[in-house]
Amino acid sequence: MNNTEYWKSFYDNRASLDPYKSPARSGLMPYDEMAEILDKFLKFKKEDSVADIGGANGGVALEVHEMVGGIVISDISSGQIECAKKIMQQRNIKNVTCICTALPDLGELPDEAFDKAYAGGVFMYVSKDELQEAMQNMFRILKVGGQILIFHIFSEEMKSLNPEGRYNHLVSFYNFEELKRAALEAGFKSCEKINFMSNAREYPERWKNSIQVDNPHINLSVLLNK
């Protein structure tokens, strides 16, 4: 089983109809706080079309959908996507679409279709030789002037704090310069490093259930502008 198959199976087997029990998001800050951070940097508008890349079963989209015109949730796990569809149906949410597709290709997402996008915890599943393709496809799906916020990346700084982390052999670690280089080569006008997780050390309870690392206090987050 390769890494991609492992993670598909991992998340398929843990799919849940409770968005607050998604293993893809466990240990992270509350969804409403995530939505506030996304809105702070992406400045959502009611007419925006938004891509939620790696959206799992839709927890973040539940908090964002009222701020924008529409959201497309994409995820590598068909199990998570099926749960997201059911959650949206149960709550009668009409402006969220759920599609099983993932980086690096995002093959089911059309060209220049989105004003804004966000990707939480997905670049760790993108291998070094797939990084450029992933950036190019994020660039491809955005409209001119579009933005994407990428957060909760397994950074080199995190690896240095936790060199024997539980899933280190199954994920990729990047530093800011690697991401910036790939983003600019893909065509993005700018790549800005941002820090909104500085309070992780102050609120360890948010992180105690993280399935991804044993000491998840260092993160690398970037805002890309097309």
| Structure tokens given for 142 | 């955005």
pLDDT of 204 reads 52
Average pLDDT over residues 184-202: 78
Please report which confidence band the pLDDT of residue 92 belongs to, taking 50, 70 and 90 as the band edges. Answer: very high
pLDDT of 197 reads 54
Please report which confidence band the pLDDT of residue 158 belongs to, taking 50, 70 and 90 as the band edges. Answer: confident
pLDDT of 198 reads 47
Average pLDDT over residues 174-185: 96
Phi first, then psi, for residue 116 (nearest 5°) are: -140, 160
Q: Which residue has the tokens 């980086």?
A: 103
Give the range among 19-23, 27-31, 190-194, 221-225 with minimum mean pLDDT.
27-31
pLDDT of 23 reads 60
Domain limits, the chain? 3-14+42-225
pLDDT of 157 reads 79
Element (H, E) at 5: helix 3-12
With 0-12 / 13-18 / 19 or more C-beta atoms within 10 angstroms meaning exposed / middle / buried, residue 161 is middle
pLDDT of 84 reads 96
pLDDT of 168 reads 87
Average pLDDT over residues 83-90: 97
With 0-12 / 13-18 / 19 or more C-beta atoms within 10 angstroms meaning exposed / middle / buried, residue 177 is exposed
Give the range among 79-88, 153-162, 195-204 with minimum mean pLDDT.
195-204
Residues 53, 36: Cα–Cα separation, whole Å = 17
pLDDT of 216 reads 46
Which numeric CATH code is attached to 3-14+42-225? 3.40.50.150
Residue pair 27/45 in contact by the 8 Å Cβ criterion: no
Residues 11, 82: Cα–Cα separation, whole Å = 12
| Structure tokens given for 119 | 């990707």
Instruction: Annotate 51-106 with DSSP letters as a single string.
Output: EEET-TTSHHHHHHGGGSSEEEEEES-HHHHHHHHHHHHHTT--SEEEEE--TTT-
SS3 content of the chain, % helix, strand, coil (to 5): 40, 20, 40
Give the global pTM: 0.90
Average pLDDT, the chain: 87
- More reliable by pLDDT, 37 or 206: 37
